[in-house]
Amino acid sequence: MSQHQEKATIIKIEQFSPNNLRLTLDAPLIAPQCKPGQFVMIQTGIGKDPLLRRPFSLHQASSNGHIQIYFKNVGRGTNIMAHCKLEEKLDVFGPLGKGYDIDIDRPACLIGGGLGIAPLLFLAKRIARTAKDSTQNLIIIGGRSREEVEPLVKDFQQIGMPVHCSTDDGSFGIQGYVTDLFSSQDLPIGSQVYACGPDPMLAVLQRICTNKKVGCQVSVESVMACGMGACLGCNVPSSKGGYVHVCIDGPVFRAEDLVWNL
Amino acid sequence: MEFITDQDPYPDLRVNIGSLELQNPVMTASGTFGYAREFENLLNLHRLGGIIVKGISLEPRSGNPPPRIVETACGMLNAIGLQNVGVERFISEKIPYLRGLRVPVVVNILGDSLEEYQEITRRLGGVEGIAAIEVNISCPNVKKGGVAFGTDPQMAAAVTEVVKKTADVPVMVKLSPNVSDIRLLARSVEDGGADSISLINTLIGMAIDVKSRKPVLANVIGGLSGPAIKPVALRMVYQVAQSVEIPVIGIGGIDSTEDALEFILAGASAVQIGTANFVNPRISEEILEGISDYVKNQQLSSIRDLIGALDI
């Protein structure tokens, strides 16, 4: 695995809602190395404040040297990024972490909640390209309301997998959680679930997958300082005792390897 | 006609920390650089002045529950809880790689009793590839009700003595800044036999989430590091350098060449780069290049001319 630190130029800004944005960056060193589920650390400020880089999952990475990140303006770092202009450069470090372990023999079910939708587009494209049989694959995405889901639907539909949507307020797709949508599905035997979203969603999903007896890989989030195993700040409890670190042991884990508190 | 003969394009950056000679004054601070291997593809490890590895205890420690870190203004708080693999696994798993580096490797040790400090030092004895030991004295002394060794001059001296007595390599003692007079602590560890002093460790702080009314860190309090602490660190390095004869190594919020030079001018023979490694894994090499340029541009014969050269 090869990591790079590069000044990536912003070449496209898509504003999906007042707070949801997608940036396309020209990162020719990083992009070819990326795997679905991996992340990058981006320096949002140019001075000493905010000090630390912010982790972003890779929304897309292409062989032509572009990466995309999809994020929400929620704090100081993302607020700076939300106000970046075209042609500005961001210091990007990556790719980092372990991505999804794609099983090309199994029907895939991708589930994303809120910003957890971000890494699934890259994953869906990779699965569509590599899976032996794509006919049984399925994508489920959801969020609080229409603005968190609808702008991304077209990109997923283009891949050619069926896309099911939910929103908490019912403004788009069915009303409810992605986990409700998921539990109502008749999954093909031997399916593999790939998920990303907030912890409570992943905890419910882990329980459903255990009942349905399907494998479940989850991408979890954590605050991080370094993103590369030096600071040890991003620990999560392991089901085997002790801790694992989101940045180097993850961010994608087999759901049964983590401790879930419902 | 002039002949250019034997003109060294590389200025003399060598510094001495007692009997330990470093090829340059830029080291990486414990707990911010893993066991060095994490950084091997990101910078040229062989160019560094020294590498201080993650603190080691007698037994492995799993550390504190999350959240362990939080960003604060120009800095961060951490309460990692001294997670480490323990001295035995350190020797069997980490030393073989570190031994291959052409750079002095300093092993940071920690304990919760004098006996533990002594036993770790004993286990490290005779292990090839260790250039020096750095003693973290900011840990609580369990037998004295959890008061940190480093906040009490007598306890600080006692730890220093026991490690110095047992060690077969130079002993560097890392001071805690959470004291009212850093000079007293510095003199105590010098009297205890320390070969050098590094400072500062993190400043104890905290952060509160006003929505939940809970502390942000699971450990409630944590250590503040980063640019926010640099002026405090610089002042303490200056005071300590005035108070002791042994070499002083400056640590605290260094993230540029200028920062490093400030510490050297204040009296530090070398510096350690800490939190800045998290933001820019290449920073120590960049600072080294900056210092090299400075020495050249100032036409100094050696970086040593700059140590303590503060003009008051």
Q: Which residues of B fall within a CB distance of 8 Å from A51?
A: 71, 74-76, 226-227, 275, 279
Identify whether the C-beta of residue B85 lies closer than 8 Å to the C-beta of residue B93. yes
N- to C-terminal Cα separation, chain A: 35
Which site among B68, B83, B108 would you substitute to test the A interface, given the most A Cβ atoms closer than 10 Å to its Cβ?
A: B68
Over pLDDT 90: what percentage of chain B? 92
> What per-residue confidence (pLDDT) applies to A4?
94
Q: How far is A221 from chain B (nearest CA, A)?
A: 12
The model's pTM is: 0.94
Q: What is the pLDDT of residues A228-241, one digit of tens each?
A: 999 999 999 999 99
| pLDDT of A153 strictly over 90 | yes
User: What is the CATH code for A4-96?
Assistant: 2.40.30.10
What is the DSSP code string of chain A? Answer: ---EEEEEEEEEEEE-SSSEEEEEEE-TTTGGG--TT-EEEEE--SSSSS-S-EEEE-SEE-TTSEEEEEEE--SHHHHHHHT--TT-EEEEEEEESB-----TTS-EEEEEEGGGGHHHHHHHHHHHHH-S--TT-EEEEEESSHHHHHHHHHHHHTTTS-EEEEETTSSSSEES-HHHHHHTS-PPTT-EEEEES-HHHHHHHHHHHHHHT-EEEEE-----SSSSSSS---EEEBTTSSEEETTTT-BEEEGGGB----
Give the pLDDT confidence of B297-309 residue by residue, as tens digits.
999 999 999 999 9
Residue-wise pLDDT tens digits, A104-114: 999 999 999 99
Per residue in B257-285, pLDDT tens? 999 999 999 999 999 999 999 999 999 99
Q: How far apart are CA B211 and CA B161, in angstroms?
A: 48
Which CATH number is A108-257's, of 3.40.50.80, 3.30.110.30, 3.40.50.1980, 3.10.20.30?
A: 3.40.50.80
Instruction: In chain A, list all ranges with CATH 2.40.30.10.
Output: 4-96
Q: What is the mean pLDDT of residues A84-98?
A: 96
Q: Which domains does chain B have, with CATH numbers?
A: 15-63+81-202+225-306 (3.20.20.70)
Which of B24, B31, B8, B218 lies closest to B109, judged by CA?
A: B31
> CA B250, B253, B255: angle at the middle one, nearest 5?
100
Residue B91 has pLDDT above 60, yes or no: yes
- Share the mean pLDDT of chain A: 94
Cβ of A5 and B75 within 8 Å? Answer: no
Average pLDDT over residues B125-147: 90
- In this prediction the ipTM stands at 0.93
DSSP per residue, chain B: -----S--SS----EEETTEEESSSEEE-TTSSTTSGGGTTTS-GGGSSEEEEEEE-SS-B--PPSP-EEEETTEEEE-----B-HHHHIIIIIHHHHHTSSS-EEEEE--SSHHHHHHHHHHHTT-TT--EEEEE--SEEGGGTTEEGGGSHHHHHHHHHHHHHH-SS-EEEEPPS-SS-HHHHHHHHHHTT-SEEEE--PEEEE-EETTTTEESSTTSEEEEESGGGHHHHHHHHHHHHHH-SS-EEEESS--SHHHHHHHHHTT-SEEEE-THHHH-TTHHHHHHHHHHHHHHHTT-S-GGGGTT----
- Give the residue carrying structure tokens 């060598």: B14
Selected residues 94-133 of chain A with any CB under 8 Å from a CB in chain B = none
Q: Which residues of A touch B80 (CB under 8 A)?
A: 231-233
The predicted pLDDT at position B8 comes to: 56
Residue contact B32–A230, C-beta within 8 A? yes
Per residue in A110-127, pLDDT tens?
A: 999 999 999 999 999 999
Q: How many angstroms separate the CA atoms of B280 and B78, rounded?
A: 18
Q: How far is the C-alpha of A201 from the C-alpha of A116, rounded, in Å?
A: 10
State the pLDDT at residue B308: 97
Closest in A5, A53, A222 to B282, CB measured: A5
Q: What is the mean pLDDT of residues B136-142?
A: 86
Is the per-residue pLDDT at B129 higher than 80? Answer: yes
pLDDT band per the 50, 70, 90 thresholds, residue B145:
confident
Q: What percent of chain B has pLDDT over 70?
A: 97
Annotated catalytic residues of B are 139
Query: pLDDT confidence of B142, banded at 50, 70, 90?
Result: confident
Return the pLDDT at A47.
81
pLDDT at A131: 78
CA distance A105 to chain B (A): 34
All CATH 3.40.50.80 domain ranges of chain A, comma separated, are 108-257
Per-residue model confidence as pLDDT tens digits over B17-54: 999 999 999 999 999 999 999 999 999 999 999 999 99
As a whole number of angstroms, the longest Cα–Cα distance in chain A is 53
Is residue B238 within 8 Å of B178, Cβ to Cβ?
Answer: no
Q: At residue A160, does pLDDT exceed 90?
A: no
For Cα atoms B86, B91, B96, give the angle at the middle one, nearest 5 degrees. Answer: 140
pLDDT range class, residue B139, cuts 50, 70, 90: confident
- Give me the residues of A, 9-38, that contact B with CB < 8 A: none
- Given this model, what pLDDT does residue B147 score? 84
Cα first-last separation, chain B = 43
The whole-angstrom separation of Cα A193 and Cα A205 is 9
pLDDT score of A55 more than 70: yes
